[in-house]
Every structure is written in C-alpha cells, then in structure tokens.
Structure 1
Amino acid sequence: MTSVDTTIQLLTREQAAGSAANSTCTPELALQPWAFDAGVPNYGPGASMTDVIPTGSPVQGRLPVEYTTASADELDARIRAAKATLGERVVVLGHFYQRDEVVQYADFVGDSFQLANAAKAKPDAEAIVFCGVHFMAETADILSQPSQAVILPNLAAGCSMADMADIDSVEEAWAQLTEIYGTAPDADGRVPVIPVTYMNSSAALKAFCGRNGGIVCTSSNAATVLEWAFERGQRVLFFPDQHLGRNTAKAMGIPIELMPMWNPRKPLGGNSSDELVDAKVVLWHGFCSVHKRFTPAQITKARAEHPGVQVIVHPECPMAVVDAADSAGSTDFIVKAIQAAPAGSTFAIGTEINLVNRLAAEYPQHTIFCLDDVICPCSTMYRIHPGYLAWVLEGLVDGVVHNRIQVAAEVIADSTVALERMLAARPPASTPVADTVR
C-alpha cells in the first residue's frame, strides 16, 4: 500500500519536474509539520490552510533535532522500543483520518467517539497518547481517570471546525436567543431552545450544553439526539457544524426555511426576530474544510466514469452533496458499508483521503476511490508525525510527560453531564437513524 504521505512526496517531486498526473492542494504538504510549528499559530497546509485560526491557539514548541533528522526506519525502531518498554502503562489511540505512518502504532483505531470510549476502557493505563486533534484529547481527558495523563503529540493539531464556535460567541448567541424566546416552557413542558453541540467541539462548549439542558451528538446519533432535544425543547441551537445539523434535520422532515443560519459576527446572527421565532433548528455558521471540498459535480463525474458506483459521503458534506449521494453516514457507517458489500463493488467515498486510501488497501476485492481527486488531507490531523510520537513515548520512558491535555474540573463536571446524555441517546441498532440510505 502506498500511503497518502508517500504519494504526496512523489507527486510534489513530479510537479516540480512538470510531469505530475495528479495534484495536491499545496506543495507544502511535502514538508514535515515541524516546519510550521514555530511562530504564529496556523493550521498548516491541507484542507484548512485558508481558515482563520483563533488568537491564542496552541503552538507546538520545537521538536528536538534528533527527531526531526531521524530516518523513518530509526523512528520506527524507537517508537516500537518505547512501546515495548512501556507495555500496558500506555495506550496509543489513532483516528481514522490519521496518516498511515502514525496509525500503524495505534492500539485502537476509530472515530472520535470510538476512541473516547477506548480511552475510557483502559483505566489502568498511566498515559493515553491520542493521535488525533485537540478536542478529541480533551474528551478523552474528561472520560478517563483523573490519574491518567492524556497526551497530544503535537499541540498544533487543532480543528478549524471546532474553532468556528468559541464559548464567548456561543454565550452571546444564547443571550440574544433567550431574550427573544424567554425561558418559560410551553404547555407541554418544553423549554424554548435546547443547545446541541457536535462531538467536534471544545470541552467548554460541551460544558455549556451540560449546564443549559443540552447534549452532545456524534455523526452516528445526530438524529436520535435531535429527537431527544425536541422532546424537551421547542427548537434547537446546533453548533458548530451547519452541514451535519442541516442534513440531519432535513432527513427528519424539517423544512430548510425553518433552519436559519447564525453568523456570530452579525446581530441576531444575521436574522430577524420573526425568523428566529419560527425556527426549528438554528444552525451555527461552521463547517469542516475537508468535507466542504466535495461537490455534486464530482459525483456526476464518478457516475459517468464508473457505472454502478455506490457513492457514500459523510454528513458533514454540504446538503447538495448528501442529496446527490446514494448514502450518507459517519466514518464507522462508511467502513461497515464497505465491509458488508459483495466482492467487486465500486465505491466513491466523500471523506478524508487517509481513510479512503486505507479502505482501498484493506478491501482489494472492491474498487474504492475518493470523490475528490486532488489529494488534500485534514491539515491538523497531518500535524501528527512519527517524530512527535517517538518524542512523547520516549519522554514517558524517561518519566517525562510532554503535551499533557488537562480540562479544568468545573468544565469536566458540566461536560460529563452532556456526554452522558449523548451516551444514553442510542440510535436503533438495526437502522442507525443518522445514517441515511437512499
């Protein structure tokens, strides 16, 4: 299997020579992530490179030169030696979107929710090394034991979508909405509005939901969570991803005109009071830059070139893409759909390139390709590199904890409330509500 990183290195050299048959979204992807760690915070090259990073975002310090100059074989040997020395004292978690050069060392591989559960299931490990992004490490810290150290190998591995909804902006939006709606329940006991945050958000926003009667959702149980919210509230404020909220609510039969967008930079989010009063779901102006790259035109092209192709996309994609696809669902849904398909099936997948590339290698009986033929991985997942993993693991061997992620006790208390509500909101086992198939 040729990894995404290896392919990027080859394509970049071919581009320089003027012979590349394919392309990447930026030649800077061929550089190692420590080239972007010093100085001003940034998401780095990749899908989020044009997103605005919030002031005060974490910056990764310089990685010692012994890790930046080590060969791939040397880093491999050092990582494996450190893991062998640490044994059960450490658990390494790898997200589906992580580069193959890192995910090969993971004890568990999955989406953010699955990995949070994996962290919770290892209460005896002294350290949890989370090869993902910042909000995932925060969630692991919330759900793990207080004595366990949760480590993010590169502090610059944030999430631009999660950063699009910050606690100050959400608190301000909440104040404006409650001024319009009031706080009194209706005749059925439903409060005017329930806050729902996607798992892809900061611990502060999960805590906000916990203390305001709200809940967290995943891409797998978003419909079940919205049903939970509508049993308790007249409408929902959904953040930070507008597309997951819109696609899920539309599949539940809620008209698009009753889903106004809330732009935190405008009074009343850019809406009139009447529009907000009529609303069923108020959508935050946030999105995933990886999934925003997919288009209906790509689907049309895939169908023309591959008759009989099954198009599966993530519900973080724009509504027009989800509508044009055959099915939409979480990363776990995508994996299971491919696992269950008869040999010889053809799939065009609308999600992050590392997962698609890995699925193509793991299921050679199928033809599997990414809808977007431009290789443009998640900028922040790509900030994790074997050099950082070797550094944090060897630090643990020496009794040093690098890059520990710690959530404040009061935030843990409130966010745990919202997360426990999420864990109780399970979709039917046979037909996941949020994973729509057409």
Structure 2
Amino acid sequence: MTASVNDLITLTPKDSCNTKLVAGPWDFDTVPGYGPGSSQADQLPDPVSRPGQLPERYQLMSDTELDERIVAAKATLGEELVILGHFYQRDEVVKYADFVGDSFQLAKAALSRPKAKTIVFCGVHFMAETADILSESDQTVILPNLAAGCSMADMADESSVETAWEEICETYGVDPEHVVPDAEGKLPILPVTYMNSSAALKAFCGRHGGIVCTSSNAATVLEWAFERAHRVLFFPDQHLGRNTAKAMGVALEQMPMWNPRKALGGNTEEQLREAKVLLWHGFCSVHRRFTVDQITQARAADPQVKIIVHPECPMEVVDAADASGSTDAIQKFIAAASPGDSIGIGTEINMVNRLAAQYPDRSIFCLDPVICPCSTMYRIHPGYLAWVLEELVEGRVNNQISVDPKVSSHAKIALDRMLAAKPKA
C-alpha cells in the first residue's frame, strides 16, 4: 500500500524539508514562507504570503462532513461550475476535479466549458490568473486559497524583467520599447516566459512580440521564437530553458545565466552578443532536489530500472535519466510501461504516489527519499473547497482572481500563441 504524502513528509530530515505538514494549512497561511512541506532552501518573495481567510467552522469539520458538503454543493451548482485540478494536487482535492492535468491541459480545459459561470481552480495563483485571462468575460475564476502561490513564479517579477530587458536591448543597440527586425527579418531578442509566471510577465511577452510556454510545448515554442529572433530571454526557470535548448542543439556557452541582482546579469557584453538563450536565474525547489546520485543509487539497486524526470530538473539529472518530459509525458510513459517494470520518477510526490496506486503491477517510486511536495499546491485543502462552493450556492463569490483588463489583453496575445504551439509527440 502506498504511504500517504503526509506520513512520508513527517519522516524526512528537518534540516532540508519543513516537516510541519498538517491536515489544515490555514495555520500557516499568514506566516512568512511557503509553509508545511516546503524546502528550507526556498527563496522568500515579497510579500511573503497572501493571507488565508478560511472560517473556523470549516477548519473544525471532519473529512466526512467536508466530503458531503462538497458533493452536495457540486450537485446544486451543476453545469454552472467547473473544477480544475493540477496533477500535483493532493488526492483528497483531485477527486472532485472535472479536469485533471498539467498547466497546458488545464489552460485548454478553461476554454472548454464556456457555459460554466464559475471556474474553481485547484492549483496555484498563476494558473488561476491564466484561467481568468482565457475565460469568457461573464465567467468567474476562484482560487480556493489565495495563499497558494509558486516559489518559482516569485523569482521573476515585472520590475526585474523590465530592467533586464532595458539592459539587454541597450547592449544590442535597440530601443527596448520598439524592437524591430534587422536586415535578415529577425528580432535581436524575443521574450519567452514559462507558464509559471505572473500575468504581468505574460503581458510583458505579449507587448514585446513574445510567447508563453509550458513544459509540454517548450520545444515547439523555442522553434517558433528562433524563426523570429536571433535569441530569446527565457524566464523564470533556467532548467527548462537549458534542457529544452540543449536538446535542440544550442551549445551551453550560448546559454548564459541572467542574474537580476548583477549588472548585465553577471555577463559581459560579448557573452550577451554571442548568446542564443539568456536563462533567468530561477528554479523549482522541488525539482532542483533531484540528483544524479539518486539515479545512480536506483540503478545500483535495480539495473533494469527506467528513469524519467521532469525537465525542470537540473541538466545533469535530465542527461542521466532515460527520458524527461512534462507531467503529461510522465503519465504517458508510465501507462506505456509493462507490468513488472521498475520506474523511478523525478517529479512531485503527490503525482508519483497517484501513479503508483494507479499501476500496482509496476514498481513506481520517487527518486528523492526526502519528500518535499509542492507546498503551495498543498494550500488547497478540502476545507477551502467546501467553503468557496457553499458560498457560491448562497450567491457569494470568495477569492475571485481577476486580472486587470489592460494586463489581460496583452497576456492573452502571448497565451494564444502558446495554445497554437502544439506539443511535440
């Protein structure tokens, strides 16, 4: 029987992972940091949290009562409601979702229910923003817990990216507000933001001819970008950018890191001129934990083991694995495996546990013995879901995510380009 994520976390070393994961995250929603289950290495954003608001009566309800209330509210709301759940959500939330998937799939799912008056997004803040941007004007998007953010998304803010853009454009001798094609018909630089970023940064890309990518379609997006520009500024995840570009044949020396705390990102003008991909100094604290040593140990224990990891993992880990891919690609990899196969996975533990339960005839395990889940996903608890749904039944909307129309219009341009860039098979 697969151990629960809660049990696994309480057994992990306290010096590397916050082990105070409890059933209710509300006690931590106003405390600085990313909360229970998070990596102690996480960089804190400013502001450090979005306050939670869960009424006490929902905090005290039993699992059974919460389940009954959620089911009843869903039945009452009917087709006027659609619930989206990310792969990394806890099982006790995912079971209520009408759609479960990765960020690309859920972005499309948000478009598939135009008659639903309310979209409840069981994910994190940037995902709910994206749903609001892509949804119809008469639809409302709700994030059950406003404290559900993303440490990676917080590593690239609008001000830092604007400053970087100005420095980069100055190096290439172009107007940062009006970058035009050269004699070859190509732009000197084009911005690409990962889905794990704020609406403001998606809008930045929309304003500057850029595009959004997901881990599913990153290669397609970079091909699109290279057709239009000599180089790209890729943010906020350095690892997805590096792994994707390297697989496309871009040399490592053509992928300098941009550290927003240093002049020219810590580079020389020559390095920037020779660059093909400028990588932002950001990362996922969960996927950064996976190592080559973990893969080596897995192969020593079973030489026949198959290893698949997420492309947010460091390059050395992706190179050492048998395969890498988005959460959807990992799902498909497991489904295509044979009974009796042993498979080590480098991604978030909730998804790994769910796959292990779904395929009991395969030996499926997480490469990292220290369990650090996506702690901000853990902010979404059945108590919050029951609360926002019952409020909807009473005609009240709580925790609505509403992107400023000016930001939304530019962000939608970049998102529509993303949706048109189909993932490779």
Where does residue 245 of structure 1 map in the other structure? 241
2:123/2:377 contact within 8 Å kept: yes
Where does residue 436 of structure 1 map in the other structure? none
Are positions 1:331 and 2:322 aligned together?
Answer: no
Q: Distance in 2 between matches of 1:46 and 1:125?
A: 34
Where does residue 353 of structure 2 map in the other structure? 357
SS at match of 1:141: helix
SS at match of 1:125: coil
Q: Distance in 1 between matches of 2:120 and 2:293?
A: 39
Q: Distance in 2 between matches of 1:365 and 1:279?
A: 47
**Aligned residue among 19, 33, 38 for 2:25:** 33
- Provide Cα deviations, 1:177-229, integer angstroms capped at 9, x if missing partner: 00011235332110100100011111111111011011111111111111111
Are positions 1:284 and 2:280 aligned together?
Answer: yes
Question: Which one-letter code corresponds to 2:27 in the other structure?
Answer: A
Where does residue 160 of structure 1 map in the other structure? 151
Question: Which one-letter code corresponds to 1:396 in the other structure?
Answer: L
2:17/2:40 contact within 8 Å kept: no
Number of matched residues? 420
Gaps of at least 5 residues in structure 2 are 175-179
Question: Which one-letter code corresponds to 1:45 in the other structure?
Answer: P
Identity %: 68
Could you state the TM-score of these two structures normalised by the residue count of structure 1? 0.92
Change (3 A) 1:152 1:427: closer
**TM alignment of 1:34-113, pairs within 5 A:** 34-38=26-30, 40-56=31-47, 58-113=49-104
1:41/1:59 contact within 8 Å kept: no
Change (3 A) 1:6 1:23: farther
- Provide Cα deviations, 1:349-400, integer angstroms capped at 9, x if missing partner: 0000000000000011211100012221111001111110111011101111
**TM alignment of 1:30-429, pairs within 5 A:** 30=22, 32-38=24-30, 40-56=31-47, 58-183=49-174, 184-428=180-424
Change (3 A) 1:362 1:255: same
Where does residue 435 of structure 1 map in the other structure? none
Question: Displacement of 1:340 after TM fit?
Answer: 1.4
Gaps of at least 5 residues in structure 1 are 433-438
Question: Which one-letter code corresponds to 2:346 in the other structure?
Answer: G
2:237/2:282 contact within 8 Å kept: yes
Are positions 1:7 and 2:3 aligned together?
Answer: no
1:43/1:49 contact within 8 Å kept: no
Q: Distance in 2 between matches of 1:129 and 1:384?
A: 11
Greater mean alpha carbon deviation, residues 352-361 or residues 411-420: 411-420
Q: Distance in 2 between matches of 1:427 and 1:107?
A: 23
SS at match of 1:73: helix
Change (3 A) 1:135 1:45: same
Question: Which one-letter code corresponds to 1:336 in the other structure?
Answer: K
SS at match of 1:336: helix
Could you state the TM-score of these two structures normalised by the residue count of structure 2? 0.95
Question: Which one-letter code corresponds to 1:246 in the other structure?
Answer: R
Question: Displacement of 1:96 after TM fit?
Answer: 0.1
Q: Distance in 2 between matches of 1:269 and 1:125?
A: 45
1:48/1:290 contact within 8 Å kept: yes
Question: Displacement of 1:3 after TM fit?
Answer: 6.1
Greater mean alpha carbon deviation, residues 69-78 or residues 57-66: 57-66
Change (3 A) 1:394 1:168: same
Question: Displacement of 1:22 after TM fit?
Answer: 12
1:259/1:283 contact within 8 Å kept: yes
Question: Which one-letter code corresponds to 1:266 in the other structure?
Answer: K
Change (3 A) 1:427 1:152: closer
2:33/2:49 contact within 8 Å kept: no
Q: Distance in 1 between matches of 2:103 and 2:116?
A: 19
SS at match of 1:27: coil
Question: Displacement of 1:32 after TM fit?
Answer: 2.2
Change (3 A) 1:92 1:178: same
Change (3 A) 1:3 1:155: farther
Question: Which one-letter code corresponds to 1:29 in the other structure?
Answer: L
Greater mean alpha carbon deviation, residues 334-343 or residues 51-60: 51-60
SS at match of 1:30: coil
Question: Which one-letter code corresponds to 1:27 in the other structure?
Answer: T
Q: Distance in 2 between matches of 1:57 and 1:121?
A: 34
Q: Distance in 2 between matches of 1:62 and 1:407?
A: 20
Greater mean alpha carbon deviation, residues 321-330 or residues 336-345: 336-345
1:25/1:375 contact within 8 Å kept: yes
Change (3 A) 1:148 1:57: farther
Question: Displacement of 1:409 after TM fit?
Answer: 0.7
Where does residue 177 of structure 2 map in the other structure? none
Q: Distance in 2 between matches of 1:208 and 1:62?
A: 31
Q: Distance in 1 between matches of 2:213 and 2:354?
A: 26
Question: Which one-letter code corresponds to 2:381 in the other structure?
Answer: H
Q: Distance in 1 between matches of 2:14 and 2:366?
A: 13
